[in-house]
Amino acid sequence: MTYQVYDTTLRDGGQREGISYSVADKLAIARLLDEFGVGFIEGGWPGAMPKDTEFFRRARTELDLKHAVLVAFGATRKAGVAVGDDPQVRALLDAQTPAVCLVAKSDIRHVERALRTTGAENLDMVRDTVAWFVAQGRRVFLDCEHFFDGYRHDPAYAASVVTAALDAGAERVVLCDTNGGMLPSQVTTVIGELVERVGVPADRFGIHCQNDTACAVANTVAAVEAGVRHFQGTANGYGERPGNADLFAVVGNLQLKLGLPVLPDGCLEQMVRVSHAIAEIANIAPDTHQAYVGAAAFAHKAGLHASAIKVDPLLYNHVDPTVVGNDMRILVTEMAGRASIELKSRELGLDLAGHPDAVSRVTNRVKDMEAGGWSFEAADASFELLVRSELPGAEVARPFTLESYRVIVEHREDGAVVSEATVKVRVRGERVIATAEGNGPVNALDEALRLALLRHYPQLKGFELADYKVRILEGTHGTGAITRVLVETADNGGRDWTTVGVHENVVEASWRALVDALTYGLARTPAA
């Protein structure tokens, strides 16, 4: 039996607070979802949303989908209106998609209070609209809105909506946990009862879960295990309130844990790339702790874990990270043991296996420094410099020695604030003094140091400060607190690296991170 992977990122996912897709955004996301191998892409609600109407118009000429079928979403006809005369139904047809998804009320309370019609009329609305689109040659899915809540209140009526849609020719009837209040065992029970009540197999049903109980993924998997073959979700779980079922977690669980062939061959390993690309388009930072696709999904911190991973990575990874396009990371922290240090060093291209004394020295230094507020979890470049300083023959020569630096911040009468830094360094036997201004003390210090070094290291022209983060360390307070600074540097070759500095003085902490950043970059970028 074929599984239908149905994505609603462009419609339901767009209801997340803070997301507003342009038509170009929607077209780009549709291409990414197709590359991931989903079977259906719900593009939006034509007629109700002008942007969605434009999306479907452009999609006809601008999208060349290899795996997915484009779906237009809309409602059944209005009460008292002939289906062919309903303008929103006509707009749905005008979208010219091979499939449509209709939403219908399946909770009698919503029928009577929200639609202000009768249960019988609502069933006619479902039958008429489904049959009309089938007669127009469209594949039809029906979303039973509030199905689980409606079934709890009046199971006979909720089931009658399912039967009406199936009898009219719907390909799948989707059971929606619209309020997101269900638990996996409850989903399984309802599906089993529904099969008995309507007399059709569970593979005629679909599942759509919101995440209000943090069970959307689990509920979706439970429905598939109960026999459902059509499941809906959104990229990264985007959606209203706490969101929808995260399509990536659902697919990962079904394909890797249950062995179900839900995606075409070669698509699963696109998961991380597609997840992060969609996050960029949505202008939402990727969730580092998201299952399967997060940067921390296969990151190991405890020394006990690293010891086992050194023997066999799968001892502490539930799957091979590469099958979803991710990779394993070893985090170097105060929890690190010798195994963590060895594995992380190997990840950076340094083999410590034959240097037990160096391993001990690095391990002890890391623990001591982390106790003082340092953190190497996100600062691989600083950690690599530390390891090289203890590994015979691998040391990195410092490009200069510091004599002194000074930073002045001047608040002028006109309100302007100017920072000026002066550095005095020795470079290849030469004493150099350089002064520069910046939009802040750290920027001024960075500019002055580069100016002092540029004649000897012209490759610095290709370096730029890409990001700068400051954190007051836990347990320290006030303006005299210990500060940790992370500096991300990038070069014109597309590489980037992160360094760390810690001190009671934020400028000194920044200086230490800047020195590591330039030292590391120059070691990796020989002069032309």
Q: Say whether 496 sits in a helix, a strand or coil.
A: strand
In 112-265, DSSP assigns E strands to 139-145, 172-177, 205-209, 230-233
DSSP codes joined into one string, 283-294: T----TT-TTTS
The three-state (H, E, C) secondary structure of 165-203, written as one string: HHHHCCCEEEEEECCCCCCHHHHHHHHHHHHHHHCCCHH
pLDDT value of residue 176: 98
CA angle (488 as vertex; 341, 288 as ends), nearest 5:
65
By DSSP bridging, strand 496-503 and strand 483-491 are antiparallel
Strand 430-438, strand 417-427: pairing: antiparallel
Phi-psi region of 336 (alpha: psi -120 to 50; beta: other; left: phi over 0): beta
Give me the average pLDDT of each 10-residue run along the chain (528 residues): 93 93 92 96 94 95 95 96 95 97 97 96 98 98 98 97 98 98 98 98 98 98 98 97 98 97 93 89 87 82 51 70 78 54 76 83 82 77 89 88 95 89 95 94 93 94 88 62 87 86 92 94 80
The pairing of beta strand 230-233 with beta strand 4-7: parallel
Using CB atoms within 10 Å of the CB of residue 448, give its burial: 0 to 12 exposed, 13 to 18 middle, 19+ buried: buried
Q: What is the pLDDT of residue 376?
A: 77
Integer Cα distance of 218 and 429 in angstroms:
65
CB 157 within 8 Å of CB 123: no
Give all strands (DSSP E) within 192-271, no chain letters.
205-209, 230-233
What pLDDT, on the 0 to 100 scale, is given for residue 311? 53
- 152: three-class secondary structure by DSSP: helix
Q: How many Å apart are CA 46 and CA 55, to the nearest integer?
A: 8
pLDDT reported for residue 335: 47
Give me the residue spans of the domains in the chain: 4-282, 299-390, 401-524
CATH of domain 4-282: 3.20.20.70
According to the CATH classification, is domain 401-524 in 3.30.200.20?
no
What does the angle CA 108 – CA 110 – CA 111 come to, to the nearest 5 degrees?
60
Q: How far is CA 28 from CA 24, 49, 57, 61, 263, in A?
A: 6, 19, 15, 14, 20
- Look up tokens 């190997």; give the residue: 346
pTM of the model: 0.70
Question: Computed from CA positions of residues 12, 13, 14, 18, in that sequence, does the dihedral angle turn out positive or negative?
Answer: positive
Sign of CA dihedral 341, 344, 348, 353: positive
Question: Do 143 and 116 touch, CB atoms closer than 8 A?
Answer: no
